[in-house]
Chains A and B, each alone.
Chain A
Amino acid sequence: MRRIISILMENEPGALSRVVALFSQRGYNIETLTVAPTEDPTLSRLTMTTTGDEYKIEQITKHLNKLIEVVKLVDLTEGAHIEREIMLMKIKATGAQRAEVKRTVDIFRGQIVDVTATVYTVQLTGTTDKLEAFINAIGETQVLEVVRSGVSGIARGEKVLSL
């Protein structure tokens, strides 16, 4: 089962390494990881996606909560939520392909953010599924480079993760 775990933690040196080390120490896997300070500069928000059965996820959240620097934690996948990932991508765009790529970008509501005679640089935001669907639609042979931010997420409705 894929889970999105969102953490508020002290914005201190060493805190991130503790979170990451926990995963390797205890044999859990991290699929994506994003981290940045919040509106309160003493706090960082970290979002990670991981997979595991219910038992494993319970252990992961318990151990994360035990880390002294972790202030709050929520498993976003337990409720309705919004998830987004941003992707930047260089795509071969020559000849007939050029128009075709542009059409696909439009269908996926991406933006072309840089252009050369042979390459489009495309920005696309969405769920992991959508980004993957886009890569498939473009076709691997056309793709020159992909950089993805990893998943960020937030709960729907009035629930907020704050102090």
Chain B
Amino acid sequence: MEMLSGADMVVRALQEEGVEYIFGYPGGSVLHIYDALFQQDKVSHILVRHEQAATHAADGYARATGKPGVVMVTSGPGATNAITGLATAFMDSIPMIVLSGQVRSDWIGDDAFQETDMIGVSRPVVKHSFMVRDPKDIPEIFKKAFYIATTGRPGPVLIDIPKDHTAPNKTFPYEYPKKVKLRSYAPVTRGHSGQIRKAVEELLKAKRPVIYAGGGVVQGEASEALTKLAHKLNFPVTNTLMGLGAYPGTDRQFLGMLGMHGTYEANMAMHSADVILAAGARLDDRVTNSTKKFCPGAKLIHIDIDPASISKNVAAHIPIVGPVRQVLDEMLAMLDEQDSEPDHKALERWWQEIDGWREFHGLRYETNENGPMKPQQVVQALYKATDGKAYVTSDVGQHQMFAAQFYKFDRPRQWINSGGLGTMGFGLPAAMGVQFAFPDAVVACVTGEGSIQMNIQELSTCLQYGLPVKIININNQALGMVRQWQDMQYGGRHSQSYMESLPDFVKLAEAYGHVGFKVEKFEDLEGAMNEAFSLKDRLVFMDIYVDPTEHVYPMHIADGAMRDMWLSKTERT
């Protein structure tokens, strides 16, 4: 059998798993592995400027490709810097592998230099974790780690490797396992046919149905099945923030996003529905508003691969545990074989009602004559300049909601944002990961002057690797989302939500070797956007000044039902 050092095994295992990129930052405990990486050229290492950015870049890569993102960090501070990225990936069920160095095994527990109990610190934010206790276990651990991260409900897996187990002068027999042996882990591969049949009967009887599809449809590659089913039944579809793109955003049957900042028509339709088909969505509190008042007349059919997501927040009438694509395909097959039709008459009335809501209050905002630009206008200009085809990553705040509302995503994996954890600082590194995955694609990062400063150092990484990301900084000179809550709930007392002493972002971009534009007037917006996107091989930082007083609407009224919304600063349902 082939004999390899622990470090070489790590690198070989990554190669066997088809890893193209590993995002990381070196340090003492991983130096043996860095040396092994140096001596091969199959896996490219991307040097970031902060470990948090490594995790978000790997995460962006994973969200855009469906393949696991891979990260390497050193022990102690390197490892703890990766925690926010692990938590971000965990909350949104993103497949990721984080390799963290650890102090030598005989020093563990001694408060050694740069020792952190990474298994302990990361425990609540990983799907699983492994500590390498013997170098000969490395192949099996890697095989299991990749399998666990990518199957069932995906998630991040941590592998903690003590430095002595990667020493170059000690070799061990190496064989990469062909199959995983895990008696205690068997993700569901099929939904229960009896349940699926019951669900289909319910769908055929429905008079006011809504399909509520989430991130699981994107993760589970089920967009095509979802679109077919919706078209076949002529049912309206709404997506969660994580599900945007799972159903084409420009399709007539699409109601837009639902939830706290969802569209009026999506939230009204949900509230009035008699049957809701929740597919790969987890009835998050940003969606349901008060669960006690949630969709009072609806029967809930809930498809999820994770039984713990079902009946967690809202009890399901027909639970279906299984991969959403297989379940939707089986539904389609049943509909074909039965040759049965939905209730067309009732659906016609239902669509009339929905169109009425659309007409009464589709997404809208007031523009300022001569005054400052509106953030929504920036997103619409971005949509136009990119022909609706860009990968859009986002940070967290008002700009994120405006992007979700006003950019119509037609493809799954096109919209990349941190929904569950809501991590400011996610957008730029995530865009890097997307750009690595698709070097020729147009990648835009919609951000705010608050969020961008949380990982601004990555401008340097972008220069090193020539990543032509377009940064759309919707600059409202405020932590806008915080400020909005203070306006609405704290009598307008803007405690610490004002961003003073903003840097000159144009000069900053230039200092990092990039191009910067400042845009202050609406009439300059379109031209500047077009110019930025014509610079195909340059990173352009667009610093776009917008109205600091703008709010995101609709907005759920706290503790109300889905239909209880503020529609503007003065109107409510």
A interface residues (Cβ-Cβ under 8 A, vs B): 9-10, 13-14, 17-18, 21, 25, 55, 58-59, 62-63, 65-66, 68-71, 163
Contact = CB atoms under 8 A, between A and B. Distances in A.
Given A68-B184, A71-B183, A58 B120 contact: no
A14 B122 CA distance: 13
19 contacts: A10-B184, A13-B133, A14-B119, A14-B129, A14-B131, A17-B123, A25-B124, A55-B311, A58-B311, A59-B308, A62-B307, A63-B308, A65-B307, A68-B128, A68-B182, A69-B184, A70-B184, A71-B183, A71-B184
Nearest to A58: B311
Given A21-B124, A59-B312, A66-B306, A163 B131 contact: no
Contacts, number: 34
A44 to B, nearest CB: 12
The 10 lowest CB-CB distance pairs between A and B, nearest first, are A62-B308, A71-B184, A68-B128, A25-B124, A68-B185, A62-B307, A21-B123, A63-B308, A69-B184, A66-B308
A133 B164 CA distance: 55
Interface string B122-159: 01100111010100000000000000100000000000
Interface string B379-416: 00000000000000000000000000000000000000
Contacts of B119: 14
Interface centre among A21, A55, A59, A68 (most CB of B within 10 A): A68
Q: Interface size bucket, B side?
A: 10 to 19
Tell me if A's interface is mostly helix, strand, loop or mixed. helix
B72 to A, nearest CB: 21
Contacts of B120: 17
A34 B397 CA distance: 46
Interface string B488-508: 000000000000000000000
Contacts of A14: 119, 129, 131
A14 B128 CA distance: 11
A119 to B, nearest CB: 38
Contacts of A68: 127-128, 148, 182, 184-185
B277 to A, nearest CB: 22
A18 B123 contact: yes
Nearest to A15: B184
Contacts of A13: 131, 133
Contacts of B123: 17-18, 21
A59 B131 CA distance: 28
A121 B471 CA distance: 74
A17 B185 CA distance: 18
A136 B228 CA distance: 68
Contacts of B148: 68
